[in-house]
Structures are given as C-alpha cells and as structure tokens.
Amino acid sequence: MILSSPLYAQTAISLPEAIKLSQDHAYGVKSSRTDSLSAASDYRAAKASRYPTLSLSATSYYLDETQEITIIPTNPMEIGAHENYLAKLTLTLPLYAGGRISRQIDIQRELVNTKLYGLESSKLKNAYLTRKSYLNLMACDAITRASESSLERVKSILNDVQNRYNVGMADSLDILEAEIALLKAQNKLDEAKTTRNNAKSVLSQLLGFTEPTNWVLSENAPTPNLDKYHPAIDDSAAIIRPELKQLESSARVSQKSVSLYKANLYPSLNAFGTYTNGKPNNNMFENEWNDQFTTGLSLTWDFNLGGKTFRNIQSAKYKAKMAEYDRQELQESLLYQSKIALENLRQAYRSYISAGEEYQNAVQKFRLAKEKQKAGNLAVNRLIEQEDDLTSTEQLYEASKINYYIYETEYFYAIGSELIYGGLQNEID
C-alpha cells in the first residue's frame, strides 16, 4: 500500500488574465464605470425634455367667510363656496426654447464621452499597476530561483570540502569557511522568499484574492528584442492616452455651454392643455361640481437687468480656453514622458545585454575555479568568492531581463498603448 498526501493544484495566471481579474476587482474602475452610467442616465433625462410633461395637482380648503351680494335685503347671495376642491391635470409641450433643450442634450452627450474616457483612464492606470506588480513578482521568482541555485552550489562545495578533509586534503578552516558560506546562502534565500511573498501579497490584493498561496504565474519572459519594438516618437500624434481625449471632451462641453447660455437670451414657447374638475372650479360664482378643459400657448421671456446672462457667456468662454490650455499642457507633458520612457527602455535593453555577458563570464570563471580547486590549486575561500560573484551576476541578469519589460510597461503607459493589456509576447506591427 502506498500512502500519499493530497496534492492541491495551483491556478496558473497569465499576465492578461491578471489584468482582467484586477479590472474586475479595482474599486477605482468600478467607481469610474458607475460615473459613466450616471452620465448616460443624465443624457437620457436631457433627451426626455423634448417630450410632453404631464402634471397633476389637487387642492382642498375651507373658507369661513365668503363674499355676499345683497339684491333682496332679506336674502343676501353668497359668492363661491365655503368648501373648495380643485383637481388639475396639465399637459405641456415645449415648442420653442431658444435652443436650450438641444444644447443641454449636446452637453450631456459630450459628458457621457468625458466619463467614458475617464473610465478608460482608470482601466489604463489599473493595468499599468497590475502589470508592474506582476513583473515585480516575476523578478522576485527569478531571484529566488537564483538564490536556490546558489544554495545548491554552496552545498556541493561544502560536501566536496568535507570529502577532501576526510582524505587529508583540506583543513578545518576550509570547512568553516564553507559552512559560513552555506549559512549566508541560506539567509539570502530566506530574504528572497520573504521579498517574493510580499510581492505576491501585493499582487493578490490587486487581483482580489484573499489567499495568496493558491495560484502561480504562468507568464515567461521572452528574450528582449528591441529591434521589433517602439519606433521613435517625432510628434504628439503617437500619444493616445484617454486623459487627452477626456480633456478634449471637457473643452467641447465648455464650448457648448457658451451656446447654452446664449440660448437664455431667447424666449420659450410652450403649448398646454389643462383639464380641471372641482367645486366651484374656476367660476367663483358657482357652488357646484363641474369640469373644464383649456388649451393655449404660453410665452416666457426672461430679462436679467444686471447682465447675468452675458457674464455667464463670458465665463463659459474662459472655461473653454482653460480646458484647451490644460489639454495642450498634458499633451506636451506626455510627449516628453514618452520620449524619456523610450530612452529608459533602450538603456534597459543595453543593460540586459551587458548583464548577460557578465553572467556568461561569471559562469565560465566559476567552472574554471571549481576545476582548479579540485586540483588543489585554489583555496576554498577563493572558490566561494567566485560562487558569490556568480550568484550576484545571475540575479542581476534575471532582474535586468524583467526590468526591460518594466520599462516597456512604462512606455506603453506613457503613450496609452493597448499592448499594456496583453502579455509579454506582443509586438508592434
């Protein structure tokens, strides 16, 4: 009978899957989505202003005294009634509003676009944070693997020194140095694991996981190839950040507000139909229940003698200019940010190439040092130094590889590229 403990499979999560999970969990994205839904409801409410409005009102009151007309001295006639009841049903249809309704609809439609761009901005920022956190965990995994390899190499050195000590080819000092090196390697591995666990907890929070131990990363970092990526940026046309579109939409809202305030200079014309039923209804000489139906037109024209409308128009024009200046400032800032991100990416690629060469040299040097130590031509402490150098260069090499993709993420975010939502295999056509 073979006894075995149960194995719990861990879920492998790719980078696009992680971004999708983070988008579903992010409260900032949820808030922006709710805000866009609110703007859509406001837009539909503005469109509904074109339709008729039906209003119902009802009043009831009692008069302790009513007016009287004395025709016969002994029999005065009351005008009206002590008990008054009136129900009114009015249907109003706007015929002409000086453009107020259409301008308000245009503004609300543009506000919907503004909120949608805000939602895209929240998604982009969340994808940026998630992608960097995912890559940071990948780097921690790589450093942890390098630390594990270092521990195994030091164990092999200690085992070899003990064997040599048993046959009189090494002394106790060699064993002590190897044991100290083993302790340092174990400490470095523990530190790497702690850093990795912390990075995994950060990513778990972004993904909405309460348990950070039941999933692993499935993404593998391919060999960086700068030649396939990132053409040089010569103008702002390459910047497609939603924040720019959001400011452009805000500027259009301000421009349409100018037209809305100008519409206040014109009158409003409404058609209406009213049905009333009550006692004594609209005839003050009656004291009976009756109903009436009235139709007509209503013209309203407001004049503010203090120049309020003209000042509102001027204020809206200034706000439109402010929104345009904000857009131009952001566009200029993003252009420089993208250029800086591109230069950092190129430098990260050069660092990766350099770190790879150093790592290959360290591997070769450690192999030669190990052969010389076995032949008795190299002290144990020198071999340990070579191993420590190999570990450092290996960690630097692995980190530089992931660092390239971190700077790639910075570049994607700077220009607003959709590639930020994908994996590490993306290429720009």
CA 149 to CA 393: how far, in whole Å? Answer: 13
Closest alpha carbon to 397 in 204, 190, 199, 149:
149
CA 423 to CA 36: how far, in whole Å? Answer: 28
Q: What is the pTM of this model?
A: 0.80
Averaged pLDDT of the chain: 85
CA atoms 375, 377, 379, 382: torsion sign: negative
The SS3 call for residue 75 is: strand
User: What's the CATH superfamily of 11-51+99-266+306-421?
Assistant: Outer membrane efflux proteins (OEP) (1.20.1600.10)
Angle at 110 between CA 105 and CA 112, to 5 degrees: 95
Q: What is the pLDDT of residues 311-362, one digit of tens each?
A: 888 888 898 888 889 988 988 888 888 889 888 998 999 999 999 999 999 9
Q: What is the pLDDT of residues 254-305, one digit of tens each?
A: 888 888 888 888 889 999 999 998 887 777 666 778 888 999 999 988 887 7
Cβ neighbours for 259, distance < 8 A, ≥ 6 positions apart? 99, 103, 106
Environment class of 205 (CB within 10 Å of its CB; exposed 0-12, middle 13-18, buried 19+): middle
Closest alpha carbon to 303 in 355, 358, 264:
264
Could you tell me the end-to-end alpha-carbon distance of the chain, in angstroms, rounded to an integer? 58
